[in-house]
Amino acid sequence: MNYIVLSIYKYSVSDFYNFVNYKQNFIILIDDVDYINDLSELIKLIKKKFPFPIICISNKIFNKSKKELLKISYPLEFKSPSINHIKSFYHSFLPDINYTFLPDLRKLDLIKSLYDQGIRHFPPQHFNTVIEILSTVKNIIHNKTHFYDLLNEDSNIIAMIWHENCVDLNISPQLYLSFLDNFCMTNNIDKIIYQKQIWLLNDIAFHIKVGYNNWLLHHNLDFIKDNNIRYTKIKTKYTTQSNNYNFLKYCSLLLLVDKNKLFEIINNNTNIEQLTKNEKNRLKKFINP
């Protein structure tokens, strides 16, 4: 942390100012200080009377390091606006709007654009998401061309349910093995997309998981019976268990403790500076689900 801050200061100062005796002011703004792994280094840096101010933004969850940071800082608290405050803010430049929705500042730009187009009322709509997804999967299995009309929002769930239900169609083991090969390949593609942040390639995995597999299904089966589509969470269940096991193993190795000791130090909130904020919150959910 010390090296990073000093590097910002070093490469932000122009040599020109040394000749004109011009003093340039700097401010370092750290957004979400909770994600700093070694907060103690930042505390030491601030205690040394750093030449320019450092502003840290954080939430209201305090641990030992953040309490120490508060002691040497000038804290300013910004409270979350109430629903009435947000409604009043909306009404200041969106008069005559029908508040059938919950006001949310994150949706302000969208609502403002709809308002400018003359849309004043937002009637509440209720959808049964599970029933709609099950109906979608049923149409895919019984109609190989329906796949091209899908929206991409539910692609992961649709692929999971399709995989769970294609087993019921009395297909050959060789055909099912080809499905599994495609799913394994696309899972690796998803992993690479996530690691490299190549979100434009998201549709590739979905087209292979559902589109190509569904084509193979209809190409090898002449007739598919009209059966009910079931929705279970078998894959999700075992995937979650595996992820949790690997996560606990990683945290235990990182802190050099066994699993029982890991829950103890998390419960006491001690010696966990090496963990990130998200890792701490995830471990606490194991203790207090």
Where are the chain's structural domains? 2-71, 83-116, 129-232, 243-287
The 8 Å CB, 24+ separation contacts for 262-267 are: 263/287
245-289 confidence digits (pLDDT tens): 778 888 888 777 877 788 787 777 777 777 888 888 887 777 776
pTM above 0.85, yes or no: no
Instruction: Say how far apart CA 56 and CA 161 lie, in whole Å.
Output: 45
Q: Is the predicted pLDDT of residue 117 greater than 80, yes or no? A: no
The whole-number average pLDDT for the span 170-180 is 80
pLDDT category, 152, cuts 50, 70, 90?
very low
What pLDDT, on a 0 to 100 scale, did the predictor assign at position 126? 44
User: How far does the chain reach from its first CA to its final CA, in angstroms?
Assistant: 34
